[in-house]
Structure 1
């Protein structure tokens, strides 16, 4: 896939250790990533509404 993006919940902090040189990794915490942060929040809220996932509730508490 070219030009796409994905969001990874890296609770064990192991994903970044195994990064491929073909991917750019950015955290959604910086101001420049705010559009992605807002999109991610909407995706998590959608998951919460559709499935009532406990993990989604936990993540949204920290947003």
Structure 2
């Protein structure tokens, strides 16, 4: 549809997902929600993680 919609995009820790979903259901039971795993987040407010490259590469095998 060509109707304008508000979109809220958040990045949270896995341990926070259940609380956020419960809050969304309270506010708008018909809300469209997508939950996905994220490998890395960059930007203000997020800590930089330096991966252990050999360990990370072994996980890909």
**Larger relative contact order (C-alpha < 8 A, sep ≥ 6)?**
1
Q: TM over 0.5: same fold? A: no
Larger Rg: 1 or 2?
A: 2
**TM-score, normalising length: structure 2:** 0.37
